[in-house]
Structure 1
Amino acid sequence: MMGPVLAACLLIILSTAWISQANGATCKKDGGVCTCNDQTKNVDCSSKGLTAIPSNIPVETTELRLNFNSLSKLSPTAFHGLNKLTYLDLNYNELQTLPAGVFDELKNLENLRIQQNQLTSLPPRVFDKLTKITYLDLNDNKLQSLPHGVFDKLTNLKELWLRNNQLRRVPEGAFDFLSSLSDVTLQSNPWDCSCNDILYLRDWINDNKDKVTGAQDAACGDQQSKAVLEITEEEAAEDCVYPNTTTAIPTTIITTLASSNDDDIPELPVPQENFQKFLGYQEPDHLPTQPQCLMSISGYLGLMMFFVLISAAILYVIHFLKKA
């Protein structure tokens, strides 16, 4: 009577194996693209040509390397469930923005590297949940501004890298809550030294010369001809308004628009991408990469193998029953 029992066990084993295959894999040992170390809990997905973050990253992972890929955007839930991460490397990708809340579950993160991407701005409060972070690298991006209070919650931050961006100013009090800061880079930014809000940065650098790497190299404008430290109140006399600053629309313009005939209002062209968004079209957050396509093919082959084996098991049971 052991025949049917063995067949049933075989069916269970095959079903479990197929379900595991169908759920996808991240680690090479399971047919995925990343190298996973069970002892150190490290996952290395660097230099894989990825355009999306692999699914099913082990929840026990403490270090995740995604550097040297082709990531251009992240899903807001890209790192959800990975609350044991202490190290995240996104260096050398093509990220143009960070979605709000993308790091909110990484409450144990200590080291975040986003160097050499295409970031032009940061969403407000994007780092607020990273209260244990000690190292933040934003070097070599295209940041044009920083949100007010973006670093206020990072009281354990020791190293902050902002070199080689497009920063013209920092908000008043931008660094005031960084009580543990020991090293910061600010050079190779076109600091606007004609506006009086540069005086906060001037005074902060002056008071923290021991923390600023190349303090004298934080210089004004594209020509970098004069150090921010050397700017006087007379030189920084203007009240500047930057493009990202919200300003009131003059009442005369509002009145004019309200009194205009519909025929007088010019028809404005709508960019195709905006029109698609208006219709509700959105690009998927995760596009399949070549390795992921291979994983999908592997899944189909696994499915075919499953059906072959299950058919063999059924025929075996039938044959056994006939003999009985």
Structure 2
Amino acid sequence: MMGPVLAACLLIILSTAWISQANGATCKKDGGVCTCNDQTKNVDCSSKGLTAIPSNIPVETTELRLNFNSLSKLSPTAFHGMKELTYLGLEGNRLQTLPVGVFDHLVALDKLVLSQNQLKSLPQGIFDKLTKITYLDLEGNKLQSLPNGVFDKLTELKTLYLRNNQLRSVPNGAFDYLSNLGTVTLDTNPWDCSCNDILYLRDWINDNKDKVTGAQDAACGVQQSKAVLEITEEEAAEDCVYPNTTTAIPTTIITTLASSNDDDIPELPVPQENFQKFLGYQEPDHLPTQPQCLMSISGYLGLMMFFVLISAAILYVIHFLKKA
């Protein structure tokens, strides 16, 4: 009677082994696309043409690089369970939004790089769980505004890059909790110096010139003709509202429009977005990349081996039963 039992055990072992192999195909040594270092616990998936984050990245990973791929969105649970992660690189992708809670499990994270994406806004509380972070790079996106309190929990933050976005103002008190901040970049943003919201930023820059890299370069408007720190209260007299566009509309204009008849309301042109394209990127053509093809071939070979072994085990069981 031990024959069928042994055969069943063999089936279970083979099934488990195959499933484990399929799920572990993140690193090149297992047929995956990423380079993994078992000693340093680093996983490098940079420049692989990825449109999705590889599954089953080891939860003990300390550094994860996903730079210069074609990621356009993230799953809300993409990094859940990665409590050992200290570095996360997402530079040079196509991210337009960040899902709420996507970073909430990264309680040990020290550095987060989100530069050179297409982020237009940030969800409320997106960084609230990153209480150990010291380095945050948001440079080279399309951020039009920042949520209230977006940096309030980042009391250990030392470096913050905000240059080269579409920011026209920051919320009042945006940097007040960043007591350890040593470096911040604010230049190459079209700061709106006609609105009184800019006065907080003006005063903060004046008080922290030693921290602001190129403080004089944080200048007003698209023309960048006058530094924010030189703006007077008379020049920044408007009470402005910033809708979800790239243009700030003074409240006087909004009031006028609201009191007009619908037929009299003019259309407000929305500026065409200037999407950045990165060196070496191509538009998706629904063709798999070479690493993806290799993964597919590896998967098919593993599947074929699995079925061959299953068939052999079944034949063994049948042969044993016939003898019995």
- Secondary structure of 1:157's aligned partner: coil
Q: Per-residue deviation at 1:154?
A: 0.4
Q: Per-residue deviation at 1:320?
A: 6.5
- The aligned residue for residue 106 of structure 1 is 106
- Secondary structure of 1:229's aligned partner: helix
Alpha-carbon distance in structure 2 between the residues aligned to 1:44 and 1:16: 27
2:17 equivalent to 1:42: no
The 5-angstrom pairing of residues 1-324 of structure 1 reads 10-23=10-23, 25-244=25-244, 290=289, 291-292=291-292, 294-316=294-316
**Unaligned regions of 5+ residues in structure 2, if any?**
264-285
Larger displacement relative to structure 2 (89-98 or 290-299): 290-299
Q: Per-residue deviation at 1:18?
A: 1.6
Q: Which amino acid aligns with 2:32?
A: G
Alpha-carbon distance in structure 2 between the residues aligned to 1:126 and 1:289: 32
- The aligned residue for residue 271 of structure 2 is none
Alpha-carbon distance in structure 2 between the residues aligned to 1:241 and 1:10: 68
Give the direction of change, closer, same or farther, for the CA distance of 1:48–1:320 in structure 2 (3 Å limit). same
Q: 1:268-319: CA deviations, max 9, x gaps?
A: xxxxxxxxxxxxxxxxxxx996445653443333222122123234444655
Q: Which amino acid aligns with 2:96?
A: Q
Say whether the 8 Å CA contact 1:65–1:88 is kept in structure 2: yes
Say whether the 8 Å CA contact 2:7–2:313 is kept in structure 1: yes
Equivalent residues, number? 296
- Secondary structure of 1:36's aligned partner: strand
Q: 1:2-50: CA deviations, max 9, x gaps?
A: 9888766654442222222343521111211111111111111100000
Q: 1:73-105: CA deviations, max 9, x gaps?
A: 111111111121110000001111111111111
Alpha-carbon distance in structure 1 between the residues aligned to 2:322 and 2:197: 91
Q: What is the percentage of aligned positions where both structures have the same residue?
A: 84
TM, length-normalised to structure 2: 0.82
Q: 1:35-75: CA deviations, max 9, x gaps?
A: 11111111111000001111111010110000010011111
Higher relative contact order (CA 8 A, sep 6+): 1
Q: Which amino acid aligns with 2:119?
A: L
Q: Which amino acid aligns with 2:23?
A: N
Alpha-carbon distance in structure 1 between the residues aligned to 2:94 and 2:303: 35
Say whether the 8 Å CA contact 1:72–1:93 is kept in structure 2: yes
TM, length-normalised to structure 1: 0.82
Q: 1:131-150: CA deviations, max 9, x gaps?
A: 00000000011111111110
- Secondary structure of 2:64's aligned partner: strand
Say whether the 8 Å CA contact 1:51–1:289 is kept in structure 2: no
Alpha-carbon distance in structure 1 between the residues aligned to 2:12 and 2:100: 43
Q: Per-residue deviation at 1:197?
A: 1.4
Say whether the 8 Å CA contact 1:63–1:86 is kept in structure 2: yes
- Secondary structure of 1:209's aligned partner: coil
Q: Which amino acid aligns with 1:74?
A: L
Alpha-carbon distance in structure 2 between the residues aligned to 1:5 and 1:124: 57
